[in-house]
Amino acid sequence: MPNRRSKPPKEPDDEEMSFVLHTVHGYRLDEVMSDLQKCVRRAREKEAVFLVRELVDSGFVRYFWRRMMIIASEECSNDIALCAHIGQLAKNAELATSGFTKLRNSIIESQAVIAACRARKSREACDASCWAYYATKAGYRIPLHPSSIDVHTMRGKQLRKTMEDFKREGRLVAGEQDPSNDSLTRNDFEVALWGERQPYLPRPDEPGGEADAPLPVLVWDSSRPNADPVLPDGWSNPGDAVDDETGEEQK
């Protein structure tokens, strides 16, 4: 049984045919742009440069750049530098022609398609987007990860999630979820922020907390830029352990 994507294409009527745009040498615009994308996909540089010249001479420069940025993301999705490069070249072309109002040579446009033809090809992002579209249409849904309900969300606040919860789970990056991974490296700021030198401050309604207690301010010694901050009274000293449940220091 044919599916919804296998039905025969619609035949254009006379009215639709009368509005088909053509280039200066009689090519249909939609077919030129389609062929340009195939040239990029299959690294056919000479044909791509010819088609670019045809589009520029026909005045379809702005349309070329809109499509070219999409083509770069569809055909070279893993080459982020190339996609950014195409966007910058589009801006360069706009500035060089006073907003694409002046007809001129196709050097910048040719530069863009040559770079795209020579780039490493990958349609992964395009395929991923199509997969998500059809999966959604078919009713596919995903449950949100429990760690998404944290101190930064309304439901997390209602559940009294704390920054300590975020420290233990929410802030973990790829690879850190595995408890057997004992080879993690920590940068100095990460240690200073999340290590034992910064104690856990309980919420006002938790054991050890005080209602409306203002957060103390860390004082840094400007003459010693690499030194630890001076901890205010009531905070743990560096190296002191803090009980996660009570928020009290363990002596």
pLDDT digits 0-9 by tens, 47-56: 999 999 999 9
| Residue 145 domain flag | no
pLDDT at 162: 86
pLDDT at 31: 96
Spatial separation of the C-alpha atoms in residues 161 and 57, rounded to whole Å: 62
Please check whether residues 205 and 120 belong to one and the same domain. Answer: no
Please check whether residues 120 and 33 belong to one and the same domain. Answer: yes
What is the three-class DSSP state of 68? helix
Spatial separation of the C-alpha atoms in residues 209 and 242, rounded to whole Å: 14
Phi, psi of 244 (to 5 degrees): -65, -30
pLDDT at 92: 94
| Residue 184 domain flag | no
- Kind plus residue range of the DSSP H or E element containing 97: none
| Residue 28 domain flag | yes
| Residue 193 domain flag | no
One-letter amino acid for residue 23 of the chain: T
Q: Which domain holds residue 229?
A: 200-251
| Residue 109 domain flag | yes
- CA distance between the termini of the chain: 74
Q: How many domains does the chain have?
A: 2
Tens digits of per-residue pLDDT, 116-166?
A: 999 999 999 999 999 999 999 999 888 888 888 999 999 999 999 888 788
| Residue 182 domain flag | no
* Residue 110: CATH number of its domain: 1.20.272.10
pLDDT at 11: 55
pLDDT at 103: 66
Q: Which residues of the chain have pLDDT under 50?
A: 1-2, 17, 196-199, 211-212, 237-242, 244, 247, 249, 251
Task: Mark which of 95, 124, 153 sits at the end of a domain.
Answer: 124
| Residue 87 domain flag | yes
pLDDT at 219: 60
Question: How would you classify the pairing of strands 249-250 and 241-242?
Answer: antiparallel
Burial of 35: CB neighbours in 10 Å, binned 0-12, 13-18, 19+ = middle
pLDDT at 199: 47
Q: Which pTM value belongs to this model?
A: 0.63
160 Cβ contact list (under 8 Å, min separation 6): 203
pLDDT at 145: 85
Please check whether residues 30 and 116 belong to one and the same domain. Answer: yes
One-letter amino acid for residue 93 of the chain: A
pLDDT at 26: 93
